[in-house]
Amino acid sequence: MTTITRNVQATQARLNQACFTAGHNPETVRLLAVSKLHPADAVRQAHAAGLCAFGENYVQEGIDKIAALADLRTALEWHLIGPLQSNKTRAVAEAFDWVHSVDRLKTAQRLSDQRPDGLPPLNVCLQVNISGEESKSGAAPADVPALARAVAALPRLRLRGLMSIPEPEADLEAQQRPHRALRTLFDQLNAQGLALDTLSMGMSADLEAAILEGATLVRIGTAIFGARSSGGA
Ligand SMILES: *Cc1c(COP(=O)(O)O)cnc(C)c1O
């Protein structure tokens, strides 16, 4: 058994245990394997171990990996989870299945305009700066309702939910707080008539806290692929 296979099994066991503790059905939480800074062969191994959804942070690296794994294209789902600049939207609209990091209407409009007709609508989450920290990525919570309504109206996008990357915290309760705030915002949007089904929150270090607060998709890199050699916070 490869290390990646073992890690996938251990991560799935962690996810199942967290769902059990939270009283959630494990089938309601998707595992997104974050493969940034790991080679295409690592994705192949994770796919052989049963995973099919992969997250990339850097547009060009993601596009190169998608091309290197073209033989698996229909079996895999590719998610962009890193920052997206306007000049890269066309490449992303053509190559990816999901984007989690939309935080302004202009980017969403470009993605919708540039999504090829032959592909299904691009799945989108709005990134929210939920703890209001200095990080510049993510829409302010107060701006999210209007942004969500505008993005939901774009023809070639399908607004699926919200994503956040809170500041790292050591203890469970501190980890739960920003996840709970994102969950509350998510519930408010659905109460206002949006039909969101995806709460993208939780990484290797705070998977349990995210699942306790109702994550429907956790983004796990290190616990599956090991430490990254460079960059990619
Ligand atoms: C790198 C990254 C992850 C995965 O982080 P790990 O701690 O390695 O699990 C998840 N989400 C985003 C947005 C990331 O950039």
DSSP track, 39-95 = -HHHHHHHHHTT--EEEESSHHHHHHHHHHTGGGTTT-EEEE-S---GGGHHHHHHH
φ/ψ region of 162 (left if φ > 0, alpha if ψ in -120 to 50, else beta) reads beta
Q: Are 15 and 26 in contact (CB under 8 A)?
A: yes
Q: What distance in angstroms lies between residue 203's CA and the mean position of ligand 1's atoms?
A: 6
Q: Are 179 and 211 in contact (CB under 8 A)?
A: no
Residue 209 confidence (pLDDT) above 60: yes
* Closest atom of ligand 1 relative to the 203 alpha carbon: 9
What residue has token string 């023809």? 155
Write the residue with the smallest CA distance to atom 6 of ligand 1.
Answer: 221
Contact residues of ligand 1, CB 6 A cut-off: 34, 36, 57, 81-82, 165, 203-205, 219-223, 232
Q: What distance in angstroms lies between residue 192's CA and the mean position of ligand 1's atoms?
A: 30
Which pLDDT score is estimated for 230?
Answer: 64
Q: Please give the Cα distance from 167 to 178 (Å, whole number).
A: 9
Which pLDDT score is estimated for 1?
Answer: 86
As a whole number of Å, the CA-based R_g of the chain is: 17
Residue 233 confidence (pLDDT) above 90: no
Closest CA to 46 of 224, 226, 229, 232: 224
* Closest atom of ligand 1 relative to the 220 alpha carbon: 9
pLDDT (tens digit, 9 = 90+) per residue, 71-91? 999 999 999 999 999 999 999
Task: Look over the chain and give the mean of its residue pLDDT values, rounded to a whole number.
Answer: 96
| Rounded average pLDDT over 122-136 | 88
| Rounded average pLDDT over 206-229 | 97
Write the residue with the smallest CA distance to atom 11 of ligand 1.
Answer: 219
Chain-centre distance of CA 105, in angstroms? 19
Q: Please give the Cα distance from 46 to 59 (Å, whole number).
A: 21
Choices 3.20.20.10, 3.30.1370.60, 1.10.3720.10, 3.65.10.10: CATH for 3-225: 3.20.20.10
Instruction: Please report, as a single letter, which amino acid is at residue 115.
Output: R
99 Cβ contact partners less than 8 Å away, ≥ 6 residues apart: 79, 80, 84, 92, 111, 122, 123, 124, 125
| Rounded average pLDDT over 182-195 | 98
* Closest atom of ligand 1 relative to the 100 alpha carbon: 13
pLDDT (tens digit, 9 = 90+) per residue, 152-164? 999 999 999 999 9
* Closest atom of ligand 1 relative to the 205 alpha carbon: 7
Q: What distance in angstroms lies between residue 98's CA and the mean position of ligand 1's atoms?
A: 16
Residue 131 confidence (pLDDT) above 90: no
Residue 232 confidence (pLDDT) above 50: no
Residue ranges per structural domain of the chain? 3-225
Evaluate if pTM is beyond 0.95. yes
Q: Which residues pair with 199 in a beta bridge?
A: 162
